[in-house]
Amino acid sequence: MAKFYFDDDADMTLLDDKTVAIIGYGNQGRSQALNMRDNGINVVVGNIEDVYAKIARDDGWDLQTIEDAAAAADVLMMLTSDDSQPEVYENWVKKSLKKGDVMSFAHGFNIHYKEIVPGPDVDIVMVAPRMLGEGVRATFLEGRGFPSLIAVAQDASGHAMEMCLAISKAIGTTKMGVLDSTFEEEVLIDLFEEHQPSLYGLRAMYTALVEAGCSPEAVMLDLYASGEGVKFAEYGRDLGAFERMKRTSVTAQYGHLVWSKQYFDEEKTLNGMREMLANIKDGSFIAALKAEKAKNAKDIDQTWKENNDHELVKKEHELYQLLGRRPKDAPAPGDD
């Protein structure tokens, strides 16, 4: 079994004489910065002048440029978006790195695919929360923490794992536990999860039910818009993926566990998933992602347009306006 580490395994005092730079005050950056500050860590924040810069100042930070924050740091938390990190590194971070520095990533993407290749005299670690940025902050404040995958890609100092665990404790994740992993494993699992066509499955379920004569509003409420699925996901988190079914009716158990099997081709699904994994491993996906970036996300924009033209999205907008989740005068998706 893979090894877990908890609060007692981590020594946060290793950061006492260090300056930690949060590079990027977005989704993960804000939460990790605030958690570290609450734990008494000496933190500086570097960000470009955008909407997140205002948020950082509102949170009380003396905001610095990324270049200045990187130059001041002993530990650099690389928390800008994956696609921006290589440019951020080349333009503002690389020149400031010195022997003994620690670079920490929340996702193994750029190190694994060698989009960023630091010199041999810095430690390269990963603390990858299995939690959205807002959840990183919320669970810290609740005192229960969140799980993460951790890894060391380069141990120049001989103490990279100890520093990785210190960082983990400082952001609050050893409270629940961190799992020893690798950059490759984290990338494989993360990208694989992001490849799942569940949204299109949801759209197909909507279409089938509406074709069967159900109202769009009733379908959306039952499939996702009521929020019932949030509680079901919590049961999965707390009880287990299948064990949570014991909280449902016998009818639901029979439908989910027995009757649904006739509509599910496990071997075909597995073959598709194996192909997804192969395309991640052999670099096909990152090559396609780079090509997409080179053409200014043309395929993403086109897919957004196609989805915004779908009946589900249009009816959803009307329902959410009726429920007060969107202003009455809010433009429909695709019209703004």
Q: Residue 229 falls within a domain, yes or no? A: yes
Give the total residue count for the chain.
Answer: 336
Catalytic residue among 107, 159, 195, 310: 107
Q: Are both 206 and 307 inside the same structural domain? A: yes
Share of the chain above pLDDT 90, in %: 96
- pLDDT tens by residue, 8-28: 999 999 999 999 999 999 999
Residue 83 lies in a domain: yes
Question: Of 57, 66, 54, whose CA–CA distance to 24 is shortest?
Answer: 66
317 and 199 housed in the same domain: yes
Task: Please report which confidence band the pLDDT of residue 104 belongs to, taking 50, 70 and 90 as the band edges.
Answer: very high
Question: Could you tell me if 126 and 207 lie in one domain?
Answer: no
Q: Are residues 176 and 258 in the same domain?
A: no
pLDDT (0 to 100) of residue 220: 96
- Do both 40 and 76 map to the same domain? yes
Question: To the nearest whole number, what is the mean pLDDT of the chain?
Answer: 96
Within a domain: residue 144? Answer: yes
The pLDDT of residue 33? 98
Average pLDDT rounded to a whole number, residues 256-264: 95
- Both 208 and 174 in one domain: the answer is no
Range(s) of the domain holding residue 230: 193-322
CA–centroid distance for 96 within its chain: 27
Q: State which of 181, 214, 234 marks the end of a domain.
A: 181
Which pLDDT band holds residue 297 (cuts at 50, 70, 90)?
Answer: confident
Strand ordering across the sheet containing 148-154: 4-5, 178-180, 148-154, 123-129, 102-105, 75-78, 20-23, 43-46
Q: What is the CATH number of the domain that holds 48?
A: 3.40.50.720
Residue 186 lies in a domain: no
pLDDT of residue 335: 86
How many domains is the chain partitioned into structurally?
Answer: 2
Q: How confident is the model at residue 329 (pLDDT cuts 50, 70, 90)?
A: very high
Domain-ending residue, one of 131, 161, 181: 181
**Predicted confidence band of residue 150 (pLDDT cuts 50, 70, 90):** very high
* Band (53; pLDDT cuts 50, 70, 90): very high
pLDDT range class, residue 253, cuts 50, 70, 90:
very high
Residue 195 annotated as catalytic:
no
Read off φ and ψ for residue 114, nearest 5 degrees. 60, 30
Of 160, 181, 202, the residue that ends a domain is 181
Write down the pLDDT at residue 1. 77
Nearest alpha-carbon partner for 75 in 53, 97, 108, 107: 97
Q: pLDDT band at residue 217, thresholds of 50, 70 and 90?
A: very high
Give the confidence band of 2 by pLDDT, cuts at 50, 70, 90: confident
